[in-house]
Amino acid sequence: MSKHSLDESSLALDYQTDNTWRQKAYRDTAFLASAEARSIRILCELVAPGKTFADQQINNAIVFFGSARSVEMAKAQSDLGRALNQGPEAVKKAQMAIRLARYHEDAIELARLLATWSNQILQSEKRFYITSGGGPGMMEAANKGANLAGANSIGLNITLPHEQNPNPYQTTAISFEFHYFFMRKLWFANLAKCLIVFPGGFGTMDELFELLTLRQTGKIALKLPIVLYGKDFWNGFLNFDHLLEWGVISQDDMKLFCIHDNPQEAFEYVKTRLTEEFL
């Protein structure tokens, strides 16, 4: 190779010519943060996770969605104890946190059961990785459950002004921080072989209904199971029969999901479906 030839190793080098430092565009942080470089940033959020998942032979995910605001039962009970001295509004809020904490504990247990089962699959490339949005609340519960099973798990984090500090239970080497919601959603959909949705707010509903729509329209051809966890929450939040009565969904659409309320029962359902569809 001549001294004027370039290979990929040269990309890591800056150089000087005629005493003038030449800034390489890919190292120009001001340019990379500009509106003109948006397409490059988007491409990075597509390619970088893909390379990591391919290198680690990660093909399958069990995706957990749910509120970032839930806490473990012990903390919820402690908060309720303090609220008793703060008036009825504080007590009511703390009592609702107790209701949500029950599902937080169930998310930990369900993720633990699924991660334990997945670890027993002999072919590592067929294992299912517990995957969450990487933040607190139900997301943290999912990653914690996998951690308790001694399994690696994924966090697809997003930079937000609030509510999105990465939880400590996700496996750093296979987790990512996203800027663009739609790229984060792409990776949820790309990896998902199962979706488990715990009680949550706007973000949870956004993610759920996007994946339901992709399944309904056949954009996701895989028959991935979708579990809505928590009968009290889901039956109180959304009247699916009302949607049927108005004709805006069909009876077949109702088969796209099921509702469970017990970690062991949900585990058995998901394990059976994943075995039938993918193993």
Q: What domains are defined for the chain?
A: 52-72+109-278 (3.40.50.450)
Q: Which residues contact 110 (CB under 8 A, 6 or more apart)?
A: 145, 196, 229, 263, 266, 267
CA torsion, ordered 159, 175, 45, 270, to nearest 10 deg: -100
Give the model's pLDDT for residue 147: 98
Burial of 220 (0-12, 13-18, 19+ CB in 10 A): middle
What is the pLDDT at residue 1?
45
Per the CB < 8 A criterion, the answer to whether 164 and 68 are in contact is: yes
The whole-number pLDDT of residue 26 equals 87
What pLDDT is recorded for position 4? 46
Q: What is the pLDDT of residue 121?
A: 95
Chain-centroid distance of CA 151 in Å reads 16
Burial tier of 99 (Cβ tally within 10 Å: 0-12, 13-18, 19+): middle
In the 8-state DSSP scheme, what is residue 248? S
Task: Give the pLDDT of residue 11.
Answer: 52
Q: At what angle do helices 202-216 and 181-191 cross, to 10 degrees?
A: 50
Series of mean pLDDT values for 10-residue runs along the chain (279 residues): 49 52 83 93 96 97 96 92 87 91 98 98 95 96 98 95 85 96 96 97 95 93 93 91 94 95 98 94
Task: For residue 86, give Cα distances in angstroms to 72, 83, 92.
Answer: 21, 5, 11
Instruction: Check: pTM over 0.85? Answer yes or no.
Output: yes
Residue 87 amino acid letter: G
Q: What is the pLDDT of residue 221?
A: 85
